[in-house]
Amino acid sequence: MSSRSLIDLFRTLAAFSPERTTLADAPWETYVPWAIGNGLAPLASYNLEYVLPGSQAPRWAREQLASIYQGSANDNVLKLVMFKRLVDKLEGRKLILMGSAVLAEALYPHLAFRPIIDIELLVRRMDVEPFSGYLSNHDFKTDDTGYENSAATRVLSDGATPILLFSEPFGAAGRPFVDGIFERAIPNRLYGSSIYRPSAEDTLLLAILSLARQGFAVPFISFVDLRELVTGAPSLDDPLQLKPQPVVLRERAAAWKLERPLWAALTLIERLFPETRDAVQPLLPELSRTSRTVLERGVVQPLSTLTGALTEKRGAARLRRLLTGGR
């Protein structure tokens, strides 16, 4: 019988600087498939092999996690090298890199730690067709298989890497919000003169918007993303000025109608990672007791017990409307 809980093991192996400890009594049979399915295996493997080599983790668990680590490292490098070659010489455009591609590079000490499934870009409406045409000249074809509900304006793929183009993530009424994101965007020179990244507050809120659209039914690596966004990626000494400003974040969340999912996400992060409390508390928006109760029961409580993904149940439609503001 394991004396160490699943959440203890999750917290230890999802940390960037875990304390040395013995993990022989951990629930490995439960953790390994769960970690693989939730995108946590690469980071866990690195910690076991290089940070906690004396943890007494079973060999079979280390081998399974290590195989995922190597695959993630290779896949991420291939995707980002492909993307760099694709856009490095592109001039006269302003495209904003979002999602796992920007998070893996901006938040994690090693690129292999955070799986990159696809490339997400925020583009102006007038650039959707020209950039789609540019991609089609590089063997990308329109293919939204698996992304039908993503809210992307266009999805293209070369058979290996989907590229999602978003132009109206808030709907037509939210076009001024998109204009603001472009105005605040910061150059990401690694990918050439046309690629930018969102500001700290916009990066966090765009991640929250994605969570809300998916009803928080996402891999748990997404919550590691949020932990680092909320705390400003302290292990990297905040080189990209990622720490959000509380007043700015709360005001923008109110304007974007993301106060409810922001509250749910922040409360969940504090529950999963208690060390984030001091960073989380100033960022929390004010909500009615009724909204807090619904979000606590529908999102925070089930996810903080590591059930994995929220299941569709009675009231799920109401919860999703609450999270997305009816969008």
Residue pLDDT, tens place only, 149-206: 889 999 999 999 999 999 999 999 999 999 999 999 999 989 999 999 999 999 999 9
Is residue 145 located within the same domain as residue 57? no
98 plus 111 within the same structural domain: yes
The pLDDT value recorded for residue 4 is 81
The edge-to-edge listing of strands for the beta sheet with 186-187 is: 141-142, 154-157, 162-166, 119-122, 95-98, 195-197, 186-187
Query: In whole angstroms, what is the distance from residue 160 CA to residue 147 CA?
Result: 14
The answer to whether residues 236 and 321 belong to one domain is yes
Residue 51's SS3 state is helix
Tokens found for residue 31: 């953790």
Boundary residue ending a domain (177, 197, 217): 197
Cα dist. 167→143, 153, 259 in Å?
17, 6, 22
Which residues, in sequence order, are bridge partners of residue 142? 156
The reply to whether 241 and 307 lie within a common domain is yes
Separation between Cα atoms, residue 143 and residue 127, nearest integer Å: 18
> Residue 94: pLDDT above 90?
yes
pTM of the entire predicted model: 0.93
Same domain assignment for residues 174 and 246: no
Q: From 161, 182, 197, give the residue that closes a domain.
A: 197
Q: What is the pLDDT of residue 306?
A: 86
Q: Are residues 134 and 227 in the same domain?
A: no
Specify the number of domains making up the chain: 3
In percent, the amount of the chain with pLDDT more than 90 equals 84
Domain edge (last residue) among 80, 102, 137: 80
Residue 233 is predicted with a pLDDT of: 87
Average pLDDT, integer, range 7-32:
95
Residues 94 and 187 in one domain: yes
Residue 319 pLDDT greater than 80, yes or no: no
Q: Which residues contact 315 (CB under 8 A, 6 or more apart)?
A: 298
User: What is the chain's mean pLDDT, rounded?
Assistant: 92
- Domain assignment of residue 133, given as a range: 88-197
Strand 162-166 versus strand 186-187 pairing type: unpaired
pLDDT at residue 316 in the model: 60
